[in-house]
């Protein structure tokens, strides 16, 4: 649902830009900040995008939106003063990802251009400018608040001043340890996968088949198969090392690479275009399948491990580095880390689905039976056991259990205060003119109307 809202918001905004340009409407200036005008059409385009995004607007749209745009101009002016620069390679990669996202949702490049009424190069320029501005604004904000320092005493004092209805509610959280085994894949299964890939490559190289058509029909990468295997322009750092080593050595777009093995499976690659330190390729991915027999063997093995742990032969933590094949957890006694927060605590919705289902009925200290789950990174079946170490019931935040959450709230309030004071000082020092019809507003910040 969130992806749908996002795509329609972006589409609406860009389409409005296109239409206003084509109709050659005489622009009406609503605000002027320094020497920078804010046009009525820009405000309406932003309003349209926020409506499609179902983004809440706290106040009158034609008051809130131009003030928001004016503040952005203040930050961008400061970015000019500070000579804030952006990493253009990163902007290019983000634009490429966005274009690929549009193509995936709309089907083809031609459909994207038809919908937006803009060429792909024009869309790239428009989106690049958006991302460039966002990056520069964020850098200015980070510079303003970089010296914030807090002490435990500050956090405790902040907590005591919070109104009862401002204390956040913390959902059920758990801490979990995991041991996994990757069942062996039969040699014959791997050979069969490679034979299929060699056949696809031979057919393309002979001119008997089109690579993109084969990718649509057979590739097991759902993200790229719908685009004929195309993954968009990426640098070496955004590709698997084995994939990048082969892809960047390709020179003939009509030929297909040798078979490449990565952690995701086996690939064949076709060059589309090289552009500096980035490359656009197509690939077909096939994943060897784990047999039911090997899944059963791995399940029995981990069930035996559980039996030995319960018999006191060794602990879960002692077993993890010797048995687990999960490289992210095996050397930390199996402790799972929440990639969203960087902590060891998970809300149930943040755990892999199969782990959450098992943990739901466990108590601290319990160890599960072996179960089959999908490896979220490699999209293949593995077998796991988990130990629940901590279960924190849903509750209102308190200092003993949720110090970091309250500290984050406190630091956020400090950042907001610093930025608000900076904005209002900047308003005072900047030429501002709000045209009649746009100034009958209660603005968030002081000083706009003089």
269 and 380 share one domain? no
Write down the pLDDT at residue 166: 93
Q: What is the DSSP letter of 165?
A: G
Residue 107: pLDDT over 80: no
pLDDT band, very low/low/confident/very high, at 52 (cuts 50, 70, 90): low
Residue 286: pLDDT over 70: yes
CATH of the domain at 333: 3.10.50.40
Distance between CA atoms of residues 323 and 49, nearest Å: 52
DSSP string, 84-140: ----HHHHHHHHHHHHHHHHHHHSSHHHHHHHHTS-HHHHHHHHHHHHHHHHHHHHH
At 383, is the secondary structure helix, strand, or coil?
strand
Distance between CA atoms of residues 223 and 283, nearest Å: 11
Domain boundary among 346, 362, 395: 395
Let me know if residue 372 belongs to a domain.
yes
Mean pLDDT, the chain, integer? 89
Contacts for 320 with CB less than 8 Å, ≥ 6 apart: 177, 179, 329, 330, 332, 333, 334
Q: Which domain holds residue 40?
A: 2-146
For the ranges 151-155, 171-175, 286-290, 413-417, which has the lowest average pLDDT? 286-290
Nearest CA to 441 out of 63, 39, 66, 43 is that of 63
CA dihedral sign of residues 416, 421, 422, 423? positive
DSSP string, 304-361: HHHHHHHTTSS-HHHHHHHH---TTTGGGTTB---TTTSSS-EEGGGS-HHHHHHHTT
Let me know if residue 66 belongs to a domain.
yes
Distance between CA atoms of residues 211 and 204, nearest Å: 6
241 and 375 share one domain? no
126 and 181 share one domain? no
Let me know if residue 163 belongs to a domain.
no
State pLDDT tens for residues 193-251. 999 999 999 999 999 999 999 999 999 998 888 889 998 888 888 899 999 999 999 99
Let me know if residue 307 belongs to a domain.
yes
45 and 57 share one domain? yes
CATH of the domain at 35: 1.10.4030.10
Q: Give the number of C-alpha atoms closer than 13 A to the C-alpha of residue 139, restricted to the C-beta side.
A: 18
Domain boundary among 286, 303, 331: 286
Let me know if residue 255 belongs to a domain.
yes
> For the chain, how many structural domains are there in total?
3
Q: Report the predicted TM-score, pTM, of the whole model to 2 decimal places.
A: 0.69
Write down the pLDDT at residue 448: 93
21 and 116 share one domain? yes
Give kind and range of the element (H or E) at residue 175.
strand 173-181
State pLDDT tens for residues 108-155. 888 888 888 889 889 889 889 989 999 999 999 999 999 999 999 999
Nearest CA to 450 out of 425, 436, 437, 431 is that of 431
Let me know if residue 234 belongs to a domain.
yes
Cβ atoms of residues 272 and 281 within 8 Å: yes
């Amino acid at each position: 649902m969130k992806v749908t809202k996002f795509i329609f918001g972006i589409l609406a905004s860009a389409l409005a830009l296109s239409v206003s340009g084509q109709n050659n409407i005489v622009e009406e200036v609503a605000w002027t900040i320094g020497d920078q005008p804010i046009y009525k059409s820009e405000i309406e385009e932003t309003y349209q995008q926020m409506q499609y995004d179902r983004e809440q607007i706290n106040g009158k749209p034609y008051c809130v939106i131009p003030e928001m745009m004016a503040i952005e101009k203040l930050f961008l002016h400061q970015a000019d003063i500070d000579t804030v620069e952006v990493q253009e390679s990163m902007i290019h990669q983000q634009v490429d990802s966005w274009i690929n996202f549009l193509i995936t949702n709309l089907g083809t490049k031609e459909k994207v251009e038809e919908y937006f009424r803009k060429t792909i190069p024009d869309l790239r320029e428009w989106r690049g400018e958006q991302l460039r501005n966002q990056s520069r604004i964020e850098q200015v904000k980070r510079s303003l608040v970089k010296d914030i320092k807090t002490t435990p005493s500050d956090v405790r004092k902040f907590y005591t001043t919070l109104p009862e209805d401002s204390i956040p509610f913390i959902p059920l959280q758990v801490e979990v340890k995991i041991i996994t085994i990757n069942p062996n894949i039969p040699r014959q299964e791997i050979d069969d996968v490679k034979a299929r890939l060699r056949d696809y490559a031979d057919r393309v190289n002979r001119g008997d088949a089109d690579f993109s058509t084969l990718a649509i029909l057979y590739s097991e990468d759902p993200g790229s198969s719908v685009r004929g295997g195309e993954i968009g322009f990426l640098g070496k750092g955004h590709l698997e090392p084995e994939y990048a080593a082969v892809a960047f050595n390709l020179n003939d777009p009509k030929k297909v690479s040798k078979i490449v093995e990565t952690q995701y499976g086996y690939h064949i690659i076709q060059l589309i275009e090289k552009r500096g330190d980035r490359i656009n390729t197509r690939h077909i991915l096939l994943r060897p399948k784990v047999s039911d027999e090997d899944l059963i063997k791995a399940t029995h093995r981990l069930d035996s491990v559980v039996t030995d742990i319960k018999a006191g032969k060794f602990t879960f933590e002692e077993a993890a580095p010797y048995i687990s094949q999960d490289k992210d957890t095996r050397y930390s006694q199996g402790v799972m880390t929440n990639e969203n927060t960087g902590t060891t605590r998970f809300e149930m919705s943040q755990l892999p689905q199969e782990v959450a289902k098992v943990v739901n009925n466990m108590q601290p200290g319990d160890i599960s039976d072996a179960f089959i789950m999908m490896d979220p990174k490699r999209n293949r079946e593995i077998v796991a056991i988990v130990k629940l170490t901590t279960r924190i019931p849903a509750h209102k935040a308190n200092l003993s259990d949720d110090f970091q959450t309250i500290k984050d709230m406190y630091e956020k309030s400090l950042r907001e205060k610093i930025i608000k004071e900076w904005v209002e000082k900047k308003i005072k020092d900047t030429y501002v003119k709000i045209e009649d019809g746009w100034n009958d507003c209660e603005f968030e910040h002081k000083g706009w109307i003089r």
